[in-house]
């Protein structure tokens, strides 16, 4: 639910675009950087590229027309001369800059054709002896049509008003603040807007100054508070205590050809414990691709059934949902339980029949797509709702799910590894179980980087692998600009491979296929009727065909790291030695090269995520999760020490000083807190 960007061109509109509506918001709008106008530099000491202030006298000022209309103003001080060049200027500017005028000029000198010059300096006409400012000049983030001087004036006024009514009081109790070694907030904010020259500009700009630290802490605290509060309010709602006998789950475990890994056992126990509580579980089951989340989900569902409740599993795509359905149905049938399938593409009659079963409560296990949360679907007694890859659902669907499962236990599953450093703040509103161990007997996937020029060799290798009984995925390039183009490429690849390898059965699956067509192709691939599956990224998550041992990704340089890791995870699921071939086209950009190096050298999803984070910064991770989570403006989620302190402080405030917590949230999030609940 992205906030609507206000249009319009009044001052208020422009401020609103920056999110500045109240005095408090103005005051928390902190400088990007500073300019030092407290000192005068002699022209002789000017350094190219280093912004500085000069005090100069105008020698002359004239209009030039070549190469374009511009105003050239020659100036001097006791040490030398320089040229001021204006490409945009007011009609009366030439008059203002008349010979003999005394100026303070601020800007970045550079060596020009006519000697030292500054393009577009900031200029102020002064009288001799005018005082220099005694603090650094803040430069604020702004938007088109809103000048620095206007913004400075507005912020300064907000400051005065706030001082008068004392709304900048500290939301941290003194003892807590002191134990964390943080400065008072009023002092911190004051210093950041008006830093005195004794504060090193570098310390301010690298944001290491104690004043920044306090602001960063407060911002993280607001985030932690709102996430924790959402967690606590859901927890206060109450849920059925699912008390189970353990007979069905034991029977399922007994029927499996494998034993749970230690990590699966741990996660399963944590979940079973949650399900017995009188408040809803809010747990995330996080595990790399292939770590075996589905069986843990199945156990949880059976636990609910044993306790006399229904359990539902929802997946973001038809392919994924169908895979879950097949797997669950195969596990449940021997135990005598039917699994109901519900998806948007079903025939009306079948769908109504499925809905009727869910409604009557005759069926306890339901699997499907977002069709599960449509209005006409009513669960007789839903005890557990499981959502796979929740971040792939839209906000509206997530809200619908919250409503439908309001009093049910909730389990979310995700294969997107979040570095541990981030998980803490990222998931402050969830309890987390991690599957950090892959099932045994996996053969590691060999990754190869191959230039596009050697495509023929790759095709030959795939041919050999398939003739030896294997299967392969061929993933077509991501074309961000155009879905139509992406489709066309997939179609062409399919035709070309079919022509080159006439003895193989080749299938094509992409996002534009009708659901039943998609399902038919997937089923044929699973049944080994198809040897090569040409696909767009629709196979990114969840597809599980253990016999497939070769993955070719074309234009791998266009994919993100998480995506490459997910795709590669589709192979290496069976006994055969598997390979992932990353075809790339030259020339490679620097980041693309770095990404390919990371995926080539690493197989652990968490490690890849950590390196990805280092490459991209944390902003994009957040973006991938929750559109409502306010982006941090000043703090850095990788600042683990500060994040941990904020987390602990949030607990303490919510427990001991809830009204301070309220005040803190109002100051930092204003009305935006609602957005977090999506």
List residues binding Mg ion (CB under 5 A). Answer: 542
Q: Does 258 bind ligand ADP (CB under 6 A)?
A: yes
Kindly list the distances between the CA atom of residue 283 and the CA atoms of 311, 411, 415, in Å, as whole numbers in the listed order: 15, 5, 14
Site string for ligand ADP, 599-618 (x = CB under 6 A): --------------------
Q: Given CA atoms 617, 618, 623, 628 in this order, what sign does their dihedral have?
A: negative
Q: Does 573 bind ligand ADP (CB under 6 A)?
A: yes
Measured from the CB of residue 356, what is the shortest distance to Mg ion in angstroms? 29
By C-beta, is 215 or 564 nearer to ligand ADP?
A: 564
Report the alpha-carbon distance of residue 414 to residue 392 in Å, rounded.
Answer: 10
Structure-block tokens of residue 100: 């003999």
Subset of 425-484 contacting ligand ADP (CB under 6 A): 439
User: Which stretch, 53-61, 259-267, 376-384, 556-564, contacts ligand ADP (CB under 6 A)?
Assistant: 259-267
What strand order describes the sheet that includes 382-388? 339-342, 365-368, 310-314, 382-388, 409-414, 282-287, 431-435
- Cis ω on the peptide bond leading into residue 587 (within 30° of 0)? yes
Measured from the CB of residue 502, what is the shortest distance to ligand ADP in angstroms? 32
Kindly list the distances between the CA atom of residue 159 and the CA atoms of 140, 165, 192, 450, 456, in Å, as whole numbers in the listed order: 15, 10, 12, 60, 68
Report the alpha-carbon distance of residue 3 to residue 157 in Å, rounded.
Answer: 27
Report the alpha-carbon distance of residue 399 to residue 420 in Å, rounded.
Answer: 27
What are the residues whose beta carbons fall under 8 Å from the beta carbon of 634, sequence distance 6 or more?
30, 207, 212, 215, 216, 219
Measured from the CB of residue 573, what is the shortest distance to ligand ADP in angstroms? 6
3-state DSSP assignment of residue 99:
coil
Q: Within a 10 A sphere around the Cβ of 232, how many other Cβ atoms?
A: 12
Measured from the CB of residue 440, what is the shortest distance to ligand ADP in angstroms? 6
Residue 570 interacting entry, from Mg ion, ligand ADP, none, C-beta within 5 to 8 Å by type: none
Q: Is 348:372 a contact under the CB 8 Å cutoff?
A: no
By C-beta, is 264 or 282 nearer to ligand ADP?
A: 264
Measured from the CB of residue 264, what is the shortest distance to ligand ADP in angstroms? 6
Residue 109 interacting entry, from Mg ion, ligand ADP, none, C-beta within 5 to 8 Å by type: none
User: Which stretch, 44-52, 165-173, 292-300, 306-314, contacts ligand ADP (CB under 6 A)?
Assistant: 292-300
- Cis ω on the peptide bond leading into residue 526 (within 30° of 0)? no
Structure-block tokens of residue 672: 């935006």
Kindly list the distances between the CA atom of residue 179 and the CA atoms of 194, 480, 658, in Å, as whole numbers in the listed order: 26, 50, 19
Residue 291 interacting entry, from Mg ion, ligand ADP, none, C-beta within 5 to 8 Å by type: ligand ADP
Measured from the CB of residue 36, what is the shortest distance to ligand ADP in angstroms? 55
Residue 210 interacting entry, from Mg ion, ligand ADP, none, C-beta within 5 to 8 Å by type: none
Any alpha helices (H) in 412-507, and if so which ranges?
420-426, 455-467, 483-500
Site string for ligand ADP, 526-545 (x = CB under 6 A): ------------------x-
Q: Within a 10 A sphere around the Cβ of 127, how many other Cβ atoms?
A: 6
Which residue from 415, 418, 430, 501 is in contact with ligand ADP, where contact means CB under 6 A? 415
Which residue from 30, 289, 462, 646 is in contact with ligand ADP, where contact means CB under 6 A? 289
By C-beta, is 214 or 573 nearer to ligand ADP?
A: 573
Residue whose C-beta lies closest to Mg ion:
542
Structure-block tokens of residue 392: 């792939």
Q: Within a 10 A sphere around the Cβ of 279, how many other Cβ atoms?
A: 16
Residues facing 384 on adjacent strands: 311, 409
Measured from the CB of residue 293, what is the shortest distance to ligand ADP in angstroms? 4
Residue 310 interacting entry, from ligand ADP, Mg ion, none, C-beta within 5 to 8 Å by type: none
Residue 287 interacting entry, from ligand ADP, Mg ion, none, C-beta within 5 to 8 Å by type: ligand ADP
Measured from the CB of residue 267, what is the shortest distance to ligand ADP in angstroms? 11
Nearest of 184, 172, 162, 155 to residue 663 by alpha carbon: 172
Residue 608 interacting entry, from Mg ion, ligand ADP, none, C-beta within 5 to 8 Å by type: none
Subset of 48-107 contacting ligand ADP (CB under 6 A): none
Residue 544 interacting entry, from Mg ion, ligand ADP, none, C-beta within 5 to 8 Å by type: ligand ADP
DSSP string, 133-148: PSSPEEE----TT--H
DSSP string, 160-173: HHHHHHTTT--SS-
Q: Tokens 């205590």 label which residue?
A: 241
Number of chain positions touching ligand ADP (CB under 6 A): 17
Residue 391 DSSP code: G
Subset of 293-352 contacting ligand ADP (CB under 6 A): 293-295
Residue 487 interacting entry, from ligand ADP, Mg ion, none, C-beta within 5 to 8 Å by type: none
Structure-block tokens of residue 464: 């050999």
By C-beta, is 417 or 542 nearer to Mg ion?
A: 542
Residue whose C-beta lies closest to ligand ADP:
292
Measured from the CB of residue 575, what is the shortest distance to ligand ADP in angstroms? 11
Q: Is 228:649 a contact under the CB 8 Å cutoff?
A: no
Which residue from 41, 261, 626, 660 is in contact with ligand ADP, where contact means CB under 6 A? 261
By C-beta, is 19 or 574 nearer to ligand ADP?
A: 574
By C-beta, is 402 or 528 nearer to ligand ADP?
A: 528
Q: Is 77:59 a contact under the CB 8 Å cutoff?
A: no
User: Which stretch, 287-295, 369-377, 520-528, 609-617, contacts ligand ADP (CB under 6 A)?
Assistant: 287-295
User: Which stretch, 197-205, 282-290, 504-512, 661-669, contacts ligand ADP (CB under 6 A)?
Assistant: 282-290
Residue 295 interacting entry, from Mg ion, ligand ADP, none, C-beta within 5 to 8 Å by type: ligand ADP
Q: Tokens 């509206």 label which residue?
A: 396
Residue 121 interacting entry, from Mg ion, ligand ADP, none, C-beta within 5 to 8 Å by type: none
User: Which stretch, 291-299, 364-372, 396-404, 609-617, contacts ligand ADP (CB under 6 A)?
Assistant: 291-299
Report the alpha-carbon distance of residue 148 to residue 150 in Å, rounded.
Answer: 5
List residues near ligand ADP by CB under 6 A. 258, 260-261, 264, 287, 289-295, 415, 439, 544, 546, 573
């Amino acid at each position: 639910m992205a906030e609507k960007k206000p249009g319009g061109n009044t001052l208020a509109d422009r401020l609103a675009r920056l999110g500045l509506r109240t005095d408090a918001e103005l005051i928390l709008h902190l400088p990007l950087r500073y300019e030092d106008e407290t000192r005068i530099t002699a022209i002789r000491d000017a350094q190219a590229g280093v912004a500085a202030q000069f005090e100069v006298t105008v020698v002359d000022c004239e209009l030039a027309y070549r190469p374009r209309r511009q105003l050239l103003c020659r100036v001097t001080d006791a040490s030398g001369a320089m040229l001021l060049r204006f490409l945009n200027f007011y009609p009366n500017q030439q008059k203002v800059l008349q010979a003999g005028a005394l100026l303070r000029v601020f800007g970045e000198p550079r060596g020009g054709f006519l000697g030292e010059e500054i393009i577009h300096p900031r200029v102020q006409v002064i009288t001799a002896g005018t005082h220099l400012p005694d603090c650094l000049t803040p430069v604020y983030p702004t938007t088109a049509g809103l000048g620095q001087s206007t913004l400075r004036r507005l912020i300064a006024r907000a400051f005065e008003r706030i001082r008068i009514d004392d709304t900048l009081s500290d939301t941290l109790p003194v003892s807590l603040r002191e134990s964390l070694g943080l400065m008072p907030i009023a002092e911190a904010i004051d210093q950041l807007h008006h830093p005195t020259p004794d504060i090193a500009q570098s310390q301010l700009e690298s944001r290491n100054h104690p004043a920044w630290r306090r602001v960063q802490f407060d911002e993280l605290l607001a985030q932690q508070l709102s996430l924790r509060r959402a967690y606590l309010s859901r927890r206060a709602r109450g849920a059925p205590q699912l008390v189970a006998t353990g007979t069905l789950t034991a029977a399922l475990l007994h029927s499996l050809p494998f034993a749970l890994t230690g990590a699966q056992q741990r996660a399963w126990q944590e979940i079973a414990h949650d399900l017995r509580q009188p408040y809803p579980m809010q747990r995330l089951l996080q595990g790399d691709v292939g770590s075996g989340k589905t069986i843990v989900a199945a156990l949880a569902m059976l636990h609910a059934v044993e306790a006399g409740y229904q359990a539902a599993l929802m997946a973001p795509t038809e392919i994924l949902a169908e895979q879950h359905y097949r797997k669950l149905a195969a596990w449940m049938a021997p135990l005598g339980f039917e699994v109901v399938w519900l998806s948007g593409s079903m025939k009306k009659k079948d769908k109504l029949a499925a809905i009727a079963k869910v409604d009557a409560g005759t069926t306890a296990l339901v699997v499907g797509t977002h069709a599960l949360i449509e209005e006409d679907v009513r669960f007789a007694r839903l005890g557990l709702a499981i959502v796979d890859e929740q971040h792939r659902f839209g906000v509206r669907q997530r809200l619908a799910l919250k409503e439908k499962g309001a009093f049910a236990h909730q389990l979310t599953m995700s294969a997107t590894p979040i570095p541990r450093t981030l998980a803490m703040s990222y998931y402050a509103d969830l309890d987390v179980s991690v599957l950090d161990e892959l099932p045994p007997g996996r053969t590691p996937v060999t990754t190869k980087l191959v230039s596009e020029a050697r495509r023929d060799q790759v095709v030959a290798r795939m041919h050999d692998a398939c003739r030896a009984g294997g299967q392969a995925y061929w993933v077509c390039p991501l074309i961000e600009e155009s879905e139509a183009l992406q489709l066309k490429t997939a179609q062409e690849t399919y035709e070309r491979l079919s022509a080159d390898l006439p003895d193989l059965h080749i299938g094509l699956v992409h996002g534009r296929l009708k659901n039943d067509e998609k399902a038919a192709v997937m089923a044929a691939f699973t049944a080994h009727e198809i040897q090569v599956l040409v696909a767009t990224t629709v196979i990114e998550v969840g597809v599980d065909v253990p016999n497939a041992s070769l993955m070719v990704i074309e234009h791998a340089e266009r994919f993100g790291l998480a995506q490459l890791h997910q795709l590669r995870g589709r192979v290496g699921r069976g006994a055969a030695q598997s390979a992932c071939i990353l075809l790339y086209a030259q020339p490679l950009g620097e980041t693309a090269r770095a990404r390919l190096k990371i995926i080539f050298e690493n197989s652990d999803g968490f490690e890849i995520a950590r390196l990805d984070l280092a490459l991209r910064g944390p902003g994009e991770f957040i973006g991938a999760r929750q559109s409502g989570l306010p982006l941090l403006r000043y703090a850095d989620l990788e600042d683990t020490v500060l994040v941990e302190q904020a987390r602990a402080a949030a607990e303490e405030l919510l427990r001991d000083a809830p009204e301070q917590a309220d005040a803190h949230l109002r100051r930092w999030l204003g009305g935006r807190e609602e957005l977090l609940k999506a």
